[in-house]
Structure 1
């Protein structure tokens, strides 16, 4: 299935907050761990993925109404829209 465009993807993708490029912002505050990292493309928040117990990236997305996240894993550049629940480009 081809990756579809999405009106929720901003024209400029935010960069990770400089002080939080080393991990999930929320897990680092509490001393917790994560599996993979995701970037909010709207504001630069770095959160943990849905395979992590805290699911901070999705929590941030819903709390802030920032629908699109991007993988921060090496070699990955995919984006996901939480409104459409699909990979977007």
Structure 2
């Protein structure tokens, strides 16, 4: 398991509002299922996790350069950096 780090990408984090609080933006558009949701802490994009069939949160991070996400699951309180592959 990755360790928590003082990641330089944390400087990119902004106060955001979830753009689609009801689910993964892309999955909702195409009718695909997801497992868990992740919130982009730079723009508010909601994407599905790496355990989901299409991994939209990771795709968003790499496509637009927004590396820090938070779990969007009730009761979970953690953040992840896709660039450094670590909890932040």
**For each residue in 1:2-52, what CA deviation from the matched residue of structure 2 results, as whole angstroms up to 9, or x when unmatched?**
6222121235332211xx100000000001110000011000000000000
CA 1:11/1:65 → structure 2, altered by over 3 Å: closer, same or farther?
A: closer
Residue 45 of structure 2 corresponds to residue 45 of structure 1: yes
Of 13, 16, 33, which residue of structure 2 is paired with 1:14?
A: 16
SS of the equivalent of 1:77 reads coil
Moved more, 1-10 or 58-67: 1-10
Q: Which runs of 5+ in 2 are unaligned?
A: none
Other structure's SS at 1:80 match: strand
The 1:31/1:77 distance shift into structure 2, 3 A limit, reads: same
Conserved 8 A contact 2:36-2:48: yes
Distance 2:30 2:24 in 1: 10
Q: Which residue of 2 aligns with 1:3?
A: 4
Deviation sequence 1:31-75 (CA, Å, 0-9, x none): 111000001100000000000000000000000000111100011
Q: For the residues of structure 2 that align with 1:49 and 1:39, how far apart are their CA atoms?
A: 10
1: distance between equivalents of 2:13 and 2:57? 20
TM-score normalised per structure 2: 0.90
